[in-house]
Amino acid sequence: MSALIEMRGVTKTYGAFTALNDVTLSLSDTSPSMTAVAGESGSGKTTLARMMLGFINPSHGQVLYQGKDVARMTGAEQRQFRREVQPVFQDPFDVFNPFYRIDHVLETPVKRYKLADSDTKARAMIEDALKRVGLRPQDTLGRFPHELSGGQRQRIMVARAVLLRPRLIIADEPVSMVDASLRATILDELKTLNRELGISIVYITHDLTTAFQICDNIMILYRGNVSEAGAVERVIGAPKHPYSQLLVSSIPLPDLSKAWGGEEIPVSEASAARPNPGCKFAPRCPHVMEMCWDNLPPKYVPDSERLATCFLYRDAPVAASDDVASVFRPPNHSITTTAP
């Protein structure tokens, strides 16, 4: 399998602090996927996104885009990479220059990458991109950012990404600042882009509900380490790692039969976590064992389509490959049109 993007043993440290520890993950070049990366603040999910986008370089390991090391690309290769891998950020308020009309943020990439040879053609491309995210061009173009809602601005950012016909969109918490009622619509649009344009999507989030709904697979990070990964039906539907279990049980569902239990969750954040070379979740883990403090658990495969880095599953086989995606479920939808 050739990889669209591949993280090979990637570690990022800031001084003594390890933001991301030894992550290997490859996303297929041939079948467009939707992969969620989840975890709490400080889990390393944004660090991972920034390395995939080439904004920062790994301290160890490599990020490869179509086999080329992102940190060592030639000018031309980097230009192509910058076009084909597009970000959508969390804050739909900060990314706009309030003095420019919305058109500016859409026209700039068209000019920069010379996507159109005439103004008419450029306009048509922009209108098509807006329609793809459910915005009406006549109601959107010519407006200033403050005239649009947060949800609409976020759609503009998706439209900007679409305009470039990317191969990969890295969406870092794209809906966490948008009302619950609008989230569904924006995420549905990402899913449509994946299906209709064959764009692979990495969806960085702390919201497991939406990850379950739109993604094929998920990777859960805890303090820089992969704690569990695999098909969303496995990892979110029946989590194995105690951290994933805690996350899933904390989702506030609008379903009274799934009320939060009355059990108190230990407030670990109040006490400085004891530094340990072993499992980072050990200080909070209800099932912690003596071995957890000194050794980092390997990637056990307790059942198909998932891995869990937890000694509770030490009787299960260890994953044959370092690549987290080796346990992923292949995307099960067919692509109606292929990317150009």
Partner 1 sequence: MTDKTKPILVVEELNVHYDTGKGPAKAVSDVSFSLLPGERLGLIGESGSGKTTMATALMRLTRAPGRIAGGSVKLDGRDILKMSTRELRETRLRDIALIPQGAMSSLNPVMRLEEQMIDAIVAHKPGMRRAELDARVQELLKNVGLAPEVARRYPHELSGGMKQRAAMAIATSLSPKVIVADEPTSALDVVVQRQVMQTLGRLQDGLGAAVVLIGHDMGLIAQFADTVGVMYAGKLVEIGPVRQMIESPKHPYTRLLVDSLPGIEVKRELTGIPGLPPPLVDLPPGCSFNPRCPLAFDRCVRETPLLQEVAPGQSAACHLYPEHAALPPLPPMTRAHQELRP
Binding site for partner 1 (CB under 8 A): 40-41, 134-136, 139-140, 143, 147-152, 155, 179-188, 191, 206-210, 212-214, 236-237, 246-248, 250-256, 259-260, 262, 264-265, 267, 269-271
265 sits in which H/E element: none
Q: Name which of 41 and 334 has its Cβ closer to partner 1.
A: 41
The pair of three-digit structure tokens given for residue 42, joined into one six-digit string: 């400080």
Q: How far is the CB of 147 from partner 1 (least distance, A)?
A: 7
- Among 297, 192, 303, 184, which residue's Cα sits nearest to residue 239? 303
The answer to whether 189 and 178 are in contact (CB under 8 A) is: no
**Chain centre to alpha carbon of residue 260:** 27
Q: Name which of 30 and 149 has its Cβ closer to partner 1.
A: 149
Q: How far is the CB of 159 from partner 1 (least distance, A)?
A: 12
Q: Name which of 97 and 250 has its Cβ closer to partner 1.
A: 250
Q: What single letter denotes the amino acid at residue 269?
A: E
52 sits in which H/E element: helix 45-52
Q: Name which of 149 and 304 has its Cβ closer to partner 1.
A: 149
Q: How far is the CB of 58 from partner 1 (least distance, A)?
A: 25
What does each C-alpha distance from 67 to 63, 73, 207 come to in angstroms?
Answer: 9, 11, 31
Q: How far is the CB of 313 from partner 1 (least distance, A)?
A: 22
Q: How far is the CB of 120 from partner 1 (least distance, A)?
A: 24
Q: Name which of 118 and 257 has its Cβ closer to partner 1.
A: 257
CA neighbours within 13 Å on the CB side: how many for 56? Answer: 16
- Among 24, 23, 337, 36, which residue's Cα sits nearest to residue 194? 337
